[in-house]
Chain A
Amino acid sequence: MRTELLAPAGNLEKAKIALIYGADAVYIGGKQFSLRARASNFDLETIKELVDFAHDLNKKVYITMNIVFHDDDIQGLDEYLLYLDSINVDAIICSSMIVIERAKILSNLEIHLSTQFSVTNSLLTNYFYDEGIKRVVLARELSLLEIEKVKENSKADLEIFIHGGMCVSYSGRCTLSNYTVLRDANRGGCAHTCRWLYDLYEDGILLSDNHDFQMSSKDLQATDYVQDLLRIGVSSLKIEGRMKSIHYIATVVSAYRMLIDDYYNNSLRDMSFYQNEINKAENRQTSYGFFAGDTTIEQQLYNQRSEVPTKEFVGIVKEYDNNSKTLYLEQRNYFSPGDTLEVFTPNKNIVQFKVEKIFDEENNELDAARHPLQTVVVKLPVSVPKYSIIRRVKDE
């Protein structure tokens, strides 16, 4: 069986984009029981809409329920599980025993164990398999050699993170945020305290300079290891980032889709090709995490704020009118006449064009597209499909 490409989605639009751009499955959090519940707009109806959309494409939807449950979190759990089962969700991803046990009793839902549990060996994957868990998302602290060893001995399917943000601690084993800002990291309140700036002292003597002790990890980017993971035969390759933009989702999913397909078609290109594709949307420094073994300074960020927002992504195609050769797009970032834009389509085609004029929907000419979510209109001689991503080509 071919290895699955699994993508994150923070809302319905991102989920559809991920599936259209090549993900075999998406994982989302609903408004309850998920570490990203605050940011979710997946109410029950929207989850159903997505499941139907994905199944029409012969693809899958997994629902994260990965908070660490306290007694006061349990209300509504049974009803939620029953609903997810009734709309044929493909699996739930969870880390608390109560979710696992209630799901087994109440439903036929497939159960995946979240990386929040930080499983690091085959003895434990097999325990959970015997407990009725089909798939285990391994801890991100495992090297490629360890993953291979676990795979050799594991009865459970294995899911491996290949891209995106990394907890610097073992996932699920951190309460920095709880203690420093009273927000429960294991119930969706993580304040990313590990990315703050610190000074280091030994016995009262300052050793650092200007808050340059940082724990922040570079994001994971595992293009160099995907071939090995496919050879090993893990079940799923997972991209992190439910909070990321649709531009990021489309670009990263598309790049890994090409890499996986090229591997299976014996037509792999040089890794720099896939890496360059990813870099078109990546806004954080990346490295290869633990794949080569224990991390070094190569995997850490020092003496800098960790996020540099990209401004390349300018919009998404809503519609193309073949008769008038007109493109309707939803604006996401500023652009103006004279800019060179690039349309990146779900089937990996790229069309570049120079913006001559910009209009609003009432045909008023605009000096720039400056309002997020505004529908603006530009001329384009080539037809492009809905959901295509539009990004600005940076000046050399």
Chain B
Amino acid sequence: MRVVARLKNFMEIEKLINLGVDVFLVDTPLAVKQINGELFSDLDKIITYEKEVYLLINKMIHETDLEMLEMILNKANNDKITGIVCGDMTVMVMAKKLGLENKIIYQPGTMNTSSFDNEYFHRKAIKGITISKEITLEEITNIFKNKVTEISLIGHGYLDMFYSKRGLLSNYFIYKGVDYNNIKNNDKFRLKEEMRPDSLYPIFEDDGGTHIFRDKALESFNELDVLKQYLDDFFVERIFIDDQEYYDSLLAYKTSTYMNEFLDKYKDKYNKGFYYQYTEKIKGELNEN
């Protein structure tokens, strides 16, 4: 199992390697929720390190993005770039035209929920799929049993639960008549729902739209032994996490003896996501606003 980390800058490359990172995930101009969009222009330098590099293309691809997409994929035609992580199947289609489909990791967030999804994309000869974020550990292990292509998981960090094309923060400040600077790419905004005063949900606006995240980050320390038997890539997310905490999390996955120390230090920020929590298919009598 490869540990995939999002790269923030050059200075940390050696540190990440020492922390057990196998793959650097680099933002592209068609990445949303970016960590550092500038890095793409230095791709040639990044690939000089003896580590695999994945490119992140997780924006929904509109007609006007197709030209840019082709340009980015042409940059991926390099042996050092071994993966193209995408949220929209359009990227897979374009990659196939360019003979790059074997680098595609399809990571739509919500759509890869069954064993058949793995089978379908195996037929498309792509590198692999990332299992969706809203399914249980039991469901994940069931998909593992039928594994035919590479499978990955975002196993750590703040996972988004909403992707809108609308500029919801920008529009809100216009509605309020407030001339607010520093809206886009500002990771300090949080939402609090009126009936859930103890939960603060990160909300983030960028050129791709608005993203809302879980109030707690996901951690997979106790599940790692099960997961790594089958996973090919384990993604460690870092948006809304400061650099030291991110490095600490990588160390905890690398060195199991550090796991308890990490949890003692940060436990209030983390939970188990949907690993042990099945979600209902049907509507019930709940407190809806």
Q: What is the interface of chain A, defined by CB distance below 8 A to chain B?
A: 37-38, 67-74, 95-98, 101, 117-118, 120-124, 126-127, 139, 141-142, 146, 149-150, 153, 168-170, 172-176, 178-184, 186-203, 208, 211, 213, 215, 217, 290, 294-297, 299-300, 302, 305
User: Chain B 226-268, CB within 8 Å of chain A: the 1/0 string?
Assistant: 0000000000000000000000000000000000000000000
**In the complex, what residue of chain B is closest to A201 when comparing beta carbons?**
B190
Top-6 shortest CB links A-B: A98-B116, A184-B279, A97-B120, A175-B161, A187-B281, A196-B289
- The CA-CA distance from A69 to B162 in the complex, in Å, is 19
**Is the beta-carbon distance between B60 and A169 smaller than 8 angstroms?**
no
Alpha-carbon separation in the docked complex, A192 to B175 (Å) = 22
Which residues on the A side are within 8 Å of B281 (C-beta)? 37, 67, 73, 184, 187-189
Interface pair A70/B113, CB less than 8 Å apart? yes
Q: Are A295 and B280 in contact (CB under 8 A)?
A: no
Q: What is the minimal beta-carbon distance from A140 to any residue of chain B, in angstroms?
A: 9
In the complex, chain A residues whose CB is within 8 Å of the CB of B161? 174-176, 178-179
23 A-B residue pairs with CB within 8 Å: A71-B114, A98-B117, A120-B60, A123-B66, A123-B90, A124-B89, A149-B63, A153-B63, A170-B163, A172-B110, A174-B161, A175-B134, A175-B161, A179-B214, A182-B279, A187-B281, A190-B283, A191-B288, A200-B172, A295-B165, A296-B171, A299-B166, A300-B175
User: How many of B's residues come within 8 Å of A, CB to CB?
Assistant: 68
Chain A min CB distance to B76 (Å) = 17
Residue pair B113, A69 in contact (C-beta under 8 Å): yes
Q: Which of B61, B108, B190, B286 contacts A191 (CB 8 A)?
A: B286
Instruction: Please indicate the chain A residues that have their CB under 8 angstroms from the CB of B73 in the complex.
Output: none
Task: Report B182-199 residues with CB < 8 Å from chain A CB.
Answer: 186, 188-196
Contacts of A95 in B (CB 8 A): 111
Contacts of A68 in B (CB 8 A): 110-111, 113, 132
- Mark the stretch among B10-18, B39-47, B135-143 that contacts chain A: B135-143
Other CB < 8 Å A-B pairs besides A183-B279, A302-B172, 12 of them? A37-B281, A37-B282, A96-B117, A98-B117, A101-B116, A121-B65, A121-B66, A124-B93, A126-B93, A127-B89, A175-B109, A202-B188
Q: Quick one: which of A124, A150, A169, A188 contacts B162, CB cutoff 8 A?
A: A169
Given A68-B111, A122-B63, A183-B280, also A202-B93 (CB < 8 A): no
CB distance from A80 to the nearest CB of B (A): 16
In whole angstroms, what is the CA distance A321 to B146 when docked?
65
In the complex, the answer to whether B282 meets A189 with C-beta atoms within 8 Å is: yes
Check: B168 CB closer than 8 A to any chain A CB: yes
B271 to chain A, nearest CB (A): 10
Tell me the complex Cα distance, A169–B65, Å. Answer: 19
CA distance A142 to B116 in the complex (A): 30
Rounded to whole angstroms, the CA-CA distance of A73 and B142 in the bound complex is 13
Whether A70 lies near B189 (C-beta < 8 A) is: no
**B residues 45-75 touching A (CB-CB < 8 Å):** 60-66
| B162/A194 in contact, CB under 8 A | yes
Interchain CA distance A185-B71 in the complex, whole Å:
35
CA distance A290 to B163 in the complex (A): 15
Inter-subunit contact B192/A169 (CB<8 Å): no
The answer, among A126, A175, A295, A297, for a CB contact under 8 Å with B133, is: A175
Contact in complex: B289, A195 (CB < 8 Å): yes
Q: Does B30 contact A (CB under 8 A)?
A: no
Contacts of B94 in A (CB 8 A): 123
Residues of B within 8 A of A182 (CB): 277-280
Interface contact B162-A173, CB-CB below 8 Å:
yes
Q: How far is the CB of A141 from chain B (nearest CB, A)?
A: 4
Contacts from B to A (Cβ < 8 Å):
60-66, 88-90, 93-94, 108-111, 113-117, 120, 132-135, 139, 142-143, 161-169, 171-172, 174-175, 186, 188-196, 200, 203, 212, 214, 274, 277-284, 286, 288-289
Q: Are A141 and B60 in contact (CB under 8 A)?
A: yes
B71, chain A: closest CB distance, angstroms: 15
Distance between A171 CB and nearest chain B CB, rounded to angstroms: 10
* Contact yes or no, B283 A198, CB < 8 A: no
Whether the Cβ atoms of A192 and B116 lie closer than 8 Å is: no
Residues in chain A near residue B168, CB distance under 8 A: 168, 215, 300
Question: Among the interface residues B88, B169, B189, B279, which one has the most CB atoms of the partner chain A within 10 A?
Answer: B279
Q: In the bound complex, how far is the Cα of B64 from the Cα of A195, in angstroms?
A: 30
Contact residues in B for A200 (Cβ distance below 8 Å): 169, 172, 189-191, 203
* Chain A residue with the shortest CB-CB distance to B120: A97
Residues of A contacting B114 in the complex (Cβ-Cβ under 8 angstroms): 69-71, 73-74, 96, 98
Residues B120 and A170 in contact, CB atoms below 8 Å apart: no
When the two chains form their complex, are residues B193 and A198 in contact, meaning their CB atoms are under 8 A apart?
yes
In the complex, chain B residues whose CB is within 8 Å of the CB of A175: 109-110, 133-134, 161-162
Q: A290-B165, A302-B175 are in contact. Are A201 and B289 (CB under 8 A)?
A: no
For A298, the closest partner residue in chain B by CB is B171
Given A200-B191, A201-B200, are A170 and B143 neighbors across the interface (CB < 8 Å)? no
